[in-house]
Structure formats: C-alpha cells, structure tokens
Homo-oligomer: A and B are copies of this chain.
Amino acid sequence: MRQGFGYMTIALRTADTFSAKCEPGASRGTPHPSGLHEHLDRLRSFGLRQSFARNETIFAEGEDAKRIYRIVEGAVRLCKHTADGRRHIVDFMFPGELLGIVEDDEHGFTAEALNNVVVESFPRNRLDQIGRFDPAVGSQLRAHLYENLLTMQMHLLVLGCQDAKERLASFLLRLARRTGIQRGGLLDVAMGRQDIADHLGLTIETICRAIRDLKAQGSVATPNAHQFVLTNMPALRALAIAN
C-alpha cells in the first residue's frame, strides 16, 4: 500500500464539473442533476477535504455513517465482503458523485481509493437539519437512492443473464458514459483487472481473455492496460444489455 501514483492520465474534472452527470438509464432525462450538490455547497464551512492514496480506505462497512462524501478527484471502489473473504465490488464512483448516503446508522460497504483520491465530506446531521426546513432535500435524497437502485437492478441483470464478453461490454459502455471519453476516443480505466473481475463476478483471467476476444473481433483496442479505445461501439452495444 501507499505506493504512489497509480494511473488515470489526468483528472480533468473537478468539483464544479459534475453538472454533466447523467446516470443511469441513458434514455430518461436526468430527473435531478443532483440538486443535493447545492445544499452541500451551502455547507462549505463544515466541509472537510481529505486525500487518500491508492488502496486506502475512505470508510469501512459497519462504521458509523456520520458524514457524506463528495469525490473531487480520483476514483473509488465500493466493496462488500462475505464471511469467508470473497469480495464483491458493488460499484465504482467518480468525481462529482456522492458517497456514503445511507438511511442506516452504519455504512453498508467499504469505500477504497483506486488511485489518488480527494474527497470533501460533510456532516450528515447538518444535511438532515437543512432537510427539516427544505423538503426538497428529502426528495433529492430519494432521487439519489432511486438512481442507485436502478443501477443495482441493471447490474443484477448483467450478473444474472450475461456471459463474460457481454459483461465486459456492458461495463465498458457504462464506464464511458460516466467518465466520458478523451480525445482520440480514449477511455481511461482507473481500476485494475482484479477490480473489474470482482465487479463482474468473474476471475481476473476471464477478464483478460474477454478483453483479448473483444480485441480480436475489433471491438476495442488497448494502447496500455489502463486505457481502452472503443473501436466498434455498435458491436459493443449489441453485446451489452442496453446502451
């Protein structure tokens, strides 16, 4: 651990860029471009800025959920662990996205930095306090939870119905939709192969072979292990579950 920089060419997006967010569900117009951000901005004075190096834990499953987090820079994985040590990555999170919003007292998963991560965190009870006067907060929180719910349902469909290549295609397309694509069609992939495997319910070897196959059929190219070019979107979309 703590071994420096990791990948991700350049984190172009900053905390003020997140209005472009549009996830999930592609088709439906974004219901709320997360109005929650405005409320958090109003809590600036309570905001705490923190940095985490690769593989450091931002918060852990079971910990008291006293603060909510906004990712300013870097990428994060959300993990759940089984009793016998198996790991599943529920989702990845990117700049401008909110983290650790629960209705429980404790966090339901562990959040770990994929690379150098900067987060701002805010006391949860402050937001609740605003919510007591401004009913919009409640509905924005609900919208946030609902988005997450839709994302989970989509992912259930992926794990329940798709084979390795299809899962990878779904993953890459969603990643492209969320993080955007650099000039030259370059897609930066912050997470390692093992992370992708644990997210898609496969092994690292199967991920590698699925990538090789997609390359062989001309659907993607990989200039290096952490960058992809989606050379044939229609083919990928045909594999994936929906866009």
Contact = CB atoms under 8 A, between A and B. Distances in A.
B80 A153 contact: yes
A106 to B, nearest CB: 8
Interface string A141-160: 11101101110110111011
Contacts of A149: 145, 148-149, 152
Interface string A182-218: 0000000000000000101100000000000000000
Nearest to A143: B103
B108 A160 contact: no
A88 B142 contact: no
A90 interface: yes
Contact of A108 (B31, B103, B138, B150): B150
A155 B155 CA distance: 10
A102 interface: yes
Contacts of A141: 142
Given A138-B138, A145-B146, A152-B152, 6 more contacts: A80-B156, A83-B241, A90-B153, A142-B145, A148-B149, A159-B160
